[in-house]
Structure 1
Amino acid sequence: MDNSFNNFSLPEEDSIDIKQEIIRYIRYWPWFAVTLAVTLISAYMYLRYAPRVYQTYSKIKILDESEGLELPTSAFIFKRKNINLENEIEILTSYLIMNRVVRELNLNTNFYEEGTIQTSQIESLPFGFKQIIHPDSIRERLSYKLKIKDTGMDITNLKTEKVFSFSGSTTRDSDYNLPFEIDLNVNKTKSDFVGNTYILNFNTIKSTALSLKSNIKVESIGELSDLLKLTIKGESKELSEKILNTLMEVFDKDGIYDRQLISKRTLDFIDDRFVFLAQELDSIEVGRQDFKQRNNIVDIAVDAGLGLEQRAQSDEQVFQIEQQLALSKLLDTSLNTNSESDLLPANIGIENSSINQLISDYNNAVIDRNKYLSSGGANNPMVKQAVEQVENLKANINRSIGTYSKQLENSRQQFSLRNRRFSGTVAQIPEKEKLLRAIDRQQKIKESLYLLLLQKREEAAINLAITEPSIKVVEYALSGSNPVSPKSNIVYAAAILGGLLIPFGILYLIFMLDTKLHSKEDVTKINSNIPVIGEIPDVKKKEHIIFDDPNARTALAESFRILSSNVDYILPIKDDGKGKVIYCTSTIKGEGKTYVSVNLSLALSSINKKVLLIGADLRNPQIHTHIHEEKHKPGLSNYLHDANYDWRDALINGFDKHPNHQIILSGVIPPNPAHLLTNGRFKKLIEEAKEEYDYIIVDTAPTILVTDTMLISQLADATIYLARANYTEKNLLKFSKDLTETGKLKNVAYVINSVGASRSYGYSYNYGYNYGYGTKD
C-alpha cells in the first residue's frame, strides 16, 4: 500500500476566496444584528427629536446700468453679459451688507422655545418684548431663560445662574437692570403662556453678521444668466424669509445709494450755498434800505436828470480833449524817441489835418531817404538833400504838435470852467450814489446766482428721484414645506450603512491585526506540502477533555477516532509486525500536544490495540495531571539515568476502561534532558516497546527553544505537529515548515486543536514556552 498522505499537498491560493471571506463574517451575524438595531433606533430617536431645518430661497436679477444707453457691442451680439456676477455676489455677501441686515432686523437677539425634549428657534416672542440694551453695547454673549409660572415668572441669567423672580406679568417696574422688558399681557393673557419656557440670547453684532454671512449662499443660476439665487437654512421659516427679503432690500438700497451719491452731494452743496446767499441778500437789502433812508433818496434819476445830461455832455467834450492831448503826447514821444529810420504812426486819431499831412510827408521822406542810402553813399547829394528834408519835416511836426497841444489845453480849461457852472445843477447827486449802484449791482449778482443754484438743485433732485433700482426681484423669499434636515431616508440609509460597516470595520481590523491561525485553511496557505490529518474541536468543560470511555459518542471522541484512523495513512507500511512510533510535538507551550497524545493513545486503545504512552517532555511533564498521579513518580528519566532500571517497572494503567493502554511518565525532572535522551537508552526503550505494543505514542517537548525532540526525531515513524486555533501564531508555522524541509522532523502531519474556539479558548495549558518552561502543558 502506497503512502498517499506523504505526497499530499494543496496548491497555494494566490487569490481571495470570496465565499470563505463572506462565511468568515457571517459567523458574527449577531454583531451585525445588534449594531444594526442600535443604529436604527438611534436614527429613529434622532429623527424624532432633531430640530427641523427648512431651506428658504429667493431670486433676483442684477440690472445693467448701461442697458439701453449704449450702442450694441460685440458683447451684446454674442450675448455676453456686461455684469460681473462674481463681484455682485461678493458685495451681496459682504460683511457691510450683513451688518446692515442684522441691525435692521435686530438679528443679534434670538428667541427659542424650550420643549420637553426639543428646543426650537422662533421668530419672536408671542408676548410683549422690548430690548433696552443697545446692540452696539453687547460685548459678549448674554443668555437668559424665561420660565412663566402661575405666580409670575422667573428669569435666569444662564451665565451667572442668578435668578430674578417677578410676581406680576411685567418686568417694567423692576430694579434688576435687565437688558430687556417683558409684558405678558400685550398680545394675549398670561394664562396662555403658563408653564412655557423661553431662551433669550443676545450676541454681538459682529459675531451675528459673520454667522449670517456663512449661512447665506448666493450662486448664479446659469452661465449666461443675470439671475442670482439666494438660499438660507434655518429652523424658523418666517425669520429666514424676513432675512432674505431684507437682504435684497438692503442690497438694492446700497446700489441705489451709490448712484445717488453725486446727486446728494450736489444737493448738500447747494443747500449750504443757499443759506449763505440768503444771509447775504438779506444783508444787502437791509443795507440799501438804511442807505436811502439816511440820505432821503427817493428817485435820483428824476430829480437830477437834466443836470446829469448837461454834465454828461460837458464830460464828453472834456474826455475828447483829453484824448487828443494824450494822442498828441504819444505822437511827440514817438517822434523824439524813434531812430532816423523809423516811421511815424499815421491816422492814430488826431483831429488836426495839418499834423496828419506833415506825418504823411515825413513818412514819405523817410522812405525816400532810406532808398537813397541803400543805393548811394552818405555823401551823395541826393542823400544829403533827403536827410535834410526829413529833418525839416520833423521840426515842423514838433512845432505843430506843440501849437496843437496848447490849443487843446486852453479848450480843456474852458470846459472845466463850464463844468463847474454845472456843479450846482448836479449838487443833489451825492457821491454815495456810486455806493447805491454798487449795492444794486451786488444785489443783482446774488439774485442771479441764487436763481442759478435753485435751477441746479431742481435738476439734482430730479436725478435723485428717478434713480433706477439696482436689482429686480424675480421671486421673494419662499420656504419649502418639507425640511431639508434631517432627511429620514438619508438618515435611515446612513444608519443601515453604519450598522453594517461598523461591525464590518471592527471585524476587518480584528482580522487584519489577528496573527493567530483559526482553521485548516490558515495552515494550508502557509505550508501546503504538509497534510492536516485532524481537527480537534474546542471543549468548554475541562472534565470532558479525556477520551476515557471507549464507547463514547461525543464530538471529542469522534474527532480522535478520525485522527487515529488518519494516522494510519501517514505511517509507513512495514511487514515486520513491530509497533508504530508516533511523536506528538508542537512549536510552543500551550498548543495541546499532551492533551492530543493522551486522547490519541486512548483512541487507538479503544480499537483493541496495545498502546504505550511515553512522557518524553522531561522539562515540563504534564501527563500526570490527566491520570492524577504524582509528578515525580519514577518514569522515563529514571530509566534513562539508571542502567539497572527496567522501564517495565514504570508502567502505569491510568484508565480502567482501557486495559490495553499503559503509560510511562516522565519521572523526576533531570538537569540534562538532552544528554539523557541521546545516551542510547531511549532508542533501546523504543525498540523493545515496538516488540510488545502496536503503537507507541511519545509526548515530546516543544521544538522552538529546545532540541530534545530533534535529537530523537529519527526514531519516529510519524510526527504529529500540533497547532492550536486562536492561539498559535501563523508565523510559527514557518518554523515547523523549516524543520520538515531540512529533515529535522520525520514524516510530519498537522493536527489543529481547539477548532472553533472563542477568545476564551475553553481551556488553556498556559504553556508560554521558555527554556526550562513552566508548570502545565
Structure 2
Amino acid sequence: MEDLHTNRYAMEEEDHLDLKQEIRRYLRFWPWFVLSLVIALIGAYMYVRFAPRVYQTYSKIKILDKSDGLELPTAAFIFKRSNINLENETEILTSYIMMDRVVRRLNLNTSFYEEGTIRISQQEGLPFEFTQLVHPDSIISSSSYKIKVTEKGLDISNEKDGINMSFNTHTTTSKTHELPFEVDLGLLNKKSELIGRTFIVSFRPIENVALGLKSRISVEPIGKQSDLLKISIKGESKALSEDIVNTLMAVFDEDGINDRQLISKRTLDFIDDRFVFLAQELDSIEVGRQDFKQRNNLVDIKVDATLGLEQRTKSEEEAFQIEQQLALSRLLKQSLTENGESGLLPANIGINNGGINELIANYNAAVLNRDKFLNSGGTNNPIVQQAVAEVADLKANINRSLANYVNQLEASSQQLETRNDRFSGKVAQIPEKEKLLRAIDRQQKIKESLYLLLLQKREEAAINLAITEPSIKIVEHALTGNSPISPKSRVIYLGALVGGLLVPFGILYLIFLLDSKLHSKEDITKINPRIPVIGEIPDIKKDKEFIFEDPNARSILAESFRILSSNVDYILPVSNDGKGKVIYCTSTIKGEGKTYVSINLSLALSSINKKVLLIGADLRNPQIHAHIHEGKDTPGLANYLHDTNFEWRDALVSGFDKHPNHRIMLSGTIPPNPAHLLTNGRFTKLIEEAKEEYDYIIVDTAPTILVTDTMLISQLADATVYIARADFTEKNLLKFSKDLSESGKLKNMAYVINSVGASKSYGYSYNYGYNYGYGNNG
C-alpha cells in the first residue's frame, strides 16, 4: 500500500503543471519577445506603407426574362419563381468570349505602370500622348518598355529585346525607330512635373490577358430568390476597374440583344431575297396580260354570273387560298433546302399550319442554343452534339411536315379543279378567251397578294428588330469603394503583433520541449520523490575561487557547503560508538562535479573543527590531485591496496594549510585492475581504521553507470551523496540512480544538485545574498 501511494504521488507530481513557473521561465526571455515584436511591427508598417493599394469594384445587374408578358400564369408565376437560370447567365458572363471582347474594346493587352522608388503602380493610361502602332492581334509574346522622362528628352529601353534608345526631344517622332508606339510630350503644359519619372508600357497577348481577366472577374447572385447578379473585380486602378466592369455589362447586354435580333434579321434577309423573284414574276404576268388583250382585241368583258355564280366564286376563292399556301410552302421548302448549314428560318410568313409554324419556332430556338454552345465548347462536347442532333431532327420534321402539307394542298387543288370542271359546263357560254384572261388575272392576283403579305411581314420584322428589348437591366453601374481592401492595416498589425509574440514563443517552446537536461530540485522530486535533496550548490564563475580554502569565508561557496554539511548530518544514522561516519560522493557519469563536491564538503566539515579524511577512490580517473597541486603519481589508495606492507598513514597529505584537521589520501598510481583491488579486503580495513581516528571519512568514488567500483564498496558507507549537475545531467539518468537506491546497491542515498542557476530559462533563483554566475565545475 505504501508503494502504491508513493507511485500515485509520483504520478501526480509528474502531471502537475506549475503555471506560474512556466510563465516565469518564458518571461526570462522578454528581450527576445520585445525584439521579435519590434521587428514584426516594423515589417508590418513597411508592408502597409509600400504595398500596392487594391480596391474592389462592383456592379449589379438584373437578368430580364425573355418570356415576360408572353406566357400564361403557371406555378412558377404563382410562387414568383423566375424562369431564368442564373448559373447559365453567370457562365456566359465569365466566358472567354466575353473577356475577349472586353479586352479588345478597352485594348487591355496594353497596360501602363509608373515605377516608383519602392513599388510599381498600375495606371489607367499615360499622362501624355501615346499612340500604339501595332495591332493587338499581332502581339504574340509579352514585352515591356521603360520610358524615362529626362530634362533633355526620353530614354526608352526593353531589357528582353536589348533595346535602349535615347531621344533628344520629348517625342519619339523626332527620329526613325522600330518601337511599337509613339509618345509625345511636346504639347503638355506641365511637362516639368514628368521629368525624372519612369513609366512602363507592357504588351501581352490577348489570350493571356483574357484568361487573366476571366480569373479576376467574380459573378455571384445577390440572393436565392433574386434575379440580380453582382459583378466584382479587384485592382489597383479604380478607373480601369470601373471601365472593365461597365464594358463587360455592355458587351453582355449586346450579346443578348443580338441573340434576340437574329430571327428578325434572318426574316428580313429571306423576304428581301424573295422580293426580287416576285417582282420579276409580276412584271412577266402584266406584260403577258397586255399582250393577250392586244392579240385578241379585248377591251372590256362582262361576266355572265347567272348560273352557279356563288358556287364558282367560292370555289375560286378556295382555289386562290390553296394556290397561295402552295406558293408559300414551296418558297419555304426551297429556303430550307438551300440552307445547308442549318441556319435560321423565316418565321410567320403566312402559312396557315400551326404545326409547321411551331416547328419553325422550335427550330430557330434550337439553332440559337446550338450556336451558343458551340461558342463556349468544342464540337466533341456532349452538350454540343446533343444540340446539333436536335437541330437536325427538327429540320427533318419540318421537311416531312412541309411535304405532307403540300400533298394535302395538291389533293385539295385537284378536287377543286374537278369541281370547277363541273361548273364550267354550266358556264359553257363563257368564251375561251375570257377563261384565259381570268387565269392570267388570277395568277397576277396571287403574286400581288403574296408580295403584299411579304411586304407586311418585312415591316413587322423591321419593327421587331428596332424595338428589341435589352437583355439586362443595370441596377448599379460600376462603383469602387473609397477604402482599399488590401492591405488591411488592422489585420496586418494584429497579425504582426500575434506573430511577433508567437515566433519567439514557438522557438522557446521547441527548445524547452527538446530539452532533456536536469535543471532544478523539482526535476528530481518529480522522478524520485522518495529520495531527499540535501543540497543545491550554486554556479560559480570560473574567475572566482571555487575551493573552500578559508574556514572563515562567508562566500556563496562557503555558505552553500555549510548548509550541505548540516544536511548530511541529518541523514547519517545515529550511533554512540564514537566512530567516524563514512560518506560516499558519487555520480552517474563523469563531469557532474563529484570531486568538486567531495573536496568542498570535506573542507566544510573540517571548518567546524572536525577531523576529516578525504579519500580519492576513483582509481580510474583521479582528479583530487589537480586541486591541491600534487603529482598524479603521488602514492595513495591504489598503492595501499596493492602493497600489503604500505602504511596508509604514510600516504596522507595536507592540501590546505588553513584546515589543520583535514587530510587527503590521493588515488595513487592508476592500477590495471581497480575492481580487484577494491575487493581484496584492504579497503574495508582502511575504512575501519580511519573511523577510529577521524570524525568523517569522505570517499570520492567512481561514476556508477560507467564502472561497478562504487557498488563493490557501497556497503561500507553510512550515507551516499549522489551528485547531479544542472544543465548537464540527463533526466533519464535519474532513473538509474533511483534503481540503485531502491535495490539497496547504494545505502542511505541523498541528492546534491551542482551548478544550480546555470539556466535562467527555468526561473530558479538560489540567492544567498550575493550575485553569482556560471562555472564549469569538474
Q: 1:648 to 1:443 in 2, by over 3 A?
A: farther
Q: Which moved more, 1:204-213 or 1:193-202?
A: 204-213
Provide the C-alpha distance between the structure 2 equivalents of 1:499 and 1:228, rounded to a whole number of angstroms: 42
User: Contact 1:590/1:764 (CA < 8 Å) preserved in 2?
Assistant: no
Aligned residue type for 1:519: S
How far the C-alpha of 1:754 sits from its partner, in A, is 1.8
User: Contact 2:36/2:503 (CA < 8 Å) preserved in 1?
Assistant: yes
TM-score normalised by L of structure 1: 0.75
Q: 1:87 to 1:299 in 2, by over 3 A?
A: closer
Match of 2:182 in 1: 181
How far the C-alpha of 1:449 sits from its partner, in A, is 5.2
Aligned residue type for 1:148: V
User: Contact 2:537/2:560 (CA < 8 Å) preserved in 1?
Assistant: yes
SS at match of 1:12: helix
Aligned residue type for 1:736: S
Q: 1:227 to 1:619 in 2, by over 3 A?
A: same
Provide the C-alpha distance between the structure 1 equivalents of 2:229 and 2:300, rounded to a whole number of angstroms: 80
TM-score normalised by L of structure 2: 0.75
SS at match of 1:544: coil
CA-to-aligned-CA distance 1:421-477 (integer Å, 9 cap, x gap): xxxxx9xxxxxxx9x999999988776655444433322222222222222211111
Q: Which moved more, 1:704-713 or 1:513-522?
A: 513-522
Q: Which moved more, 1:213-222 or 1:708-717?
A: 213-222
Q: 1:41 to 1:463 in 2, by over 3 A?
A: same
Aligned residue type for 2:110: T
Aligned residue type for 1:237: K
How far the C-alpha of 1:710 sits from its partner, in A, is 0.8
Q: Which runs of 5+ in 1 are unaligned?
A: 1-5, 310-425, 427-433, 766-776
Match of 2:202 in 1: 201
SS at match of 1:721: strand
Provide the C-alpha distance between the structure 1 equivalents of 2:298 and 2:498, rounded to a whole number of angstroms: 118
Match of 1:227 in 2: 228
Provide the C-alpha distance between the structure 2 equivalents of 1:497 and 1:630, rounded to a whole number of angstroms: 61
The count of aligned residue pairs is 633
Provide the C-alpha distance between the structure 2 equivalents of 1:96 and 1:300, rounded to a whole number of angstroms: 62
User: Contact 1:169/1:190 (CA < 8 Å) preserved in 2?
Assistant: no
Aligned residue type for 1:583: Y
Aligned residue type for 2:596: Y
Aligned residue type for 2:255: D
1:86 and 2:87 aligned? yes
Aligned residue type for 1:243: I
How far the C-alpha of 1:583 sits from its partner, in A, is 1.3
Match of 1:334 in 2: none
SS at match of 1:13: helix
Match of 1:107 in 2: 108
User: Contact 2:282/2:447 (CA < 8 Å) preserved in 1?
Assistant: no
SS at match of 1:140: coil
User: Contact 1:51/1:120 (CA < 8 Å) preserved in 2?
Assistant: yes
How far the C-alpha of 1:500 sits from its partner, in A, is 0.9
Provide the C-alpha distance between the structure 2 equivalents of 1:223 and 1:546, rounded to a whole number of angstroms: 86
1:628 and 2:629 aligned? yes
SS at match of 2:14: coil
Q: Give matches, 1:407-426, under 5 Å.
A: none
Aligned residue type for 2:111: N
Match of 1:355 in 2: none
How far the C-alpha of 1:32 sits from its partner, in A, is 1.0
Provide the C-alpha distance between the structure 1 equivalents of 2:613 and 2:620, rounded to a whole number of angstroms: 20
CA-to-aligned-CA distance 1:306-340 (integer Å, 9 cap, x gap): 7999xxxxxxxxxxxxxxxxxxxxxxxxxxxxxxx
How far the C-alpha of 1:543 sits from its partner, in A, is 4.2
Aligned residue type for 1:663: I
SS at match of 1:583: strand
CA-to-aligned-CA distance 1:39-91 (integer Å, 9 cap, x gap): 11111111111111112222222222233333333333334333332332222
Aligned residue type for 2:66: E
Match of 1:146 in 2: 147
How far the C-alpha of 1:254 sits from its partner, in A, is 2.1
How far the C-alpha of 1:107 sits from its partner, in A, is 1.9
Q: 1:306 to 1:183 in 2, by over 3 A?
A: closer
Match of 2:521 in 1: 520
1:305 and 2:297 aligned? yes
Match of 2:415 in 1: none
Aligned residue type for 1:471: I
How far the C-alpha of 1:608 sits from its partner, in A, is 2.3
User: Contact 1:97/1:250 (CA < 8 Å) preserved in 2?
Assistant: yes
Q: 1:282 to 1:191 in 2, by over 3 A?
A: farther
SS at match of 1:56: strand
Provide the C-alpha distance between the structure 2 equivalents of 1:674 and 1:695, rounded to a whole number of angstroms: 24
User: Contact 1:534/1:750 (CA < 8 Å) preserved in 2?
Assistant: yes
User: Contact 2:520/2:753 (CA < 8 Å) preserved in 1?
Assistant: yes
Q: Which moved more, 1:144-153 or 1:186-195?
A: 186-195
Match of 1:43 in 2: 44
Provide the C-alpha distance between the structure 2 equivalents of 1:308 and 1:455, rounded to a whole number of angstroms: 32
1:616 and 2:617 aligned? yes
Provide the C-alpha distance between the structure 2 equivalents of 1:79 and 1:688, rounded to a whole number of angstroms: 113
Provide the C-alpha distance between the structure 1 equivalents of 2:220 and 2:661, rounded to a whole number of angstroms: 92
Q: 1:541 to 1:69 in 2, by over 3 A?
A: same
Q: Give matches, 1:624-703, under 5 Å.
A: 624-703=625-704
Match of 2:55 in 1: 54
How far the C-alpha of 1:302 sits from its partner, in A, is 5.5
User: Contact 2:285/2:443 (CA < 8 Å) preserved in 1?
Assistant: no
User: Contact 1:563/1:600 (CA < 8 Å) preserved in 2?
Assistant: yes
Match of 2:259 in 1: 258
Match of 1:18 in 2: 19
Q: Which moved more, 1:194-203 or 1:436-445?
A: 436-445
User: Contact 1:726/1:759 (CA < 8 Å) preserved in 2?
Assistant: no
Match of 1:120 in 2: 121
SS at match of 2:754: strand
How far the C-alpha of 1:688 sits from its partner, in A, is 1.7
Q: 1:298 to 1:477 in 2, by over 3 A?
A: closer
Q: 1:124 to 1:523 in 2, by over 3 A?
A: same
Aligned residue type for 1:706: V
User: Contact 1:233/1:240 (CA < 8 Å) preserved in 2?
Assistant: yes
SS at match of 1:172: helix
User: Contact 1:127/1:188 (CA < 8 Å) preserved in 2?
Assistant: no
Q: Which moved more, 1:78-87 or 1:482-491?
A: 78-87
CA-to-aligned-CA distance 1:367-410 (integer Å, 9 cap, x gap): xxxxxxxxxxxxxxxxxxxxxxxxxxxxxxxxxxxxxxxxxxxx
Aligned residue type for 1:614: I
CA-to-aligned-CA distance 1:586-645 (integer Å, 9 cap, x gap): 111221111222222222222222222211111111222222222222211111111111
Match of 1:240 in 2: 241
Aligned residue type for 2:614: L
The percentage of aligned residue pairs carrying the same residue is: 71
Aligned residue type for 1:305: N
Q: 1:753 to 1:270 in 2, by over 3 A?
A: farther
Q: 1:731 to 1:123 in 2, by over 3 A?
A: same
Q: Which moved more, 1:710-719 or 1:86-95?
A: 86-95
Q: 1:224 to 1:308 in 2, by over 3 A?
A: closer
Alpha-carbon RMSD: 3.4
SS at match of 1:733: helix
Match of 1:464 in 2: 465
User: Contact 1:281/1:443 (CA < 8 Å) preserved in 2?
Assistant: no
Q: Give matches, 1:378-393, under 5 Å.
A: none
How far the C-alpha of 1:762 sits from its partner, in A, is 4.2
Match of 2:29 in 1: 28
Provide the C-alpha distance between the structure 2 equivalents of 1:271 and 1:534, rounded to a whole number of angstroms: 116
Provide the C-alpha distance between the structure 2 equivalents of 1:137 and 1:119, rounded to a whole number of angstroms: 27
Provide the C-alpha distance between the structure 2 equivalents of 1:472 and 1:745, rounded to a whole number of angstroms: 95
Aligned residue type for 2:293: A
User: Contact 2:757/2:774 (CA < 8 Å) preserved in 1?
Assistant: no
Match of 2:74 in 1: 73
Provide the C-alpha distance between the structure 2 equivalents of 1:49 and 1:212, rounded to a whole number of angstroms: 25
Indicate the structure (1 or 2) with the bigger Cα radius of gyration: 1
How far the C-alpha of 1:262 sits from its partner, in A, is 2.0
Q: Give matches, 1:568-647, under 5 Å.
A: 568-647=569-648
Provide the C-alpha distance between the structure 1 equivalents of 2:200 and 2:733, rounded to a whole number of angstroms: 66
Provide the C-alpha distance between the structure 2 equivalents of 1:597 and 1:306, rounded to a whole number of angstroms: 158
Match of 2:533 in 1: 532
Aligned residue type for 2:235: G
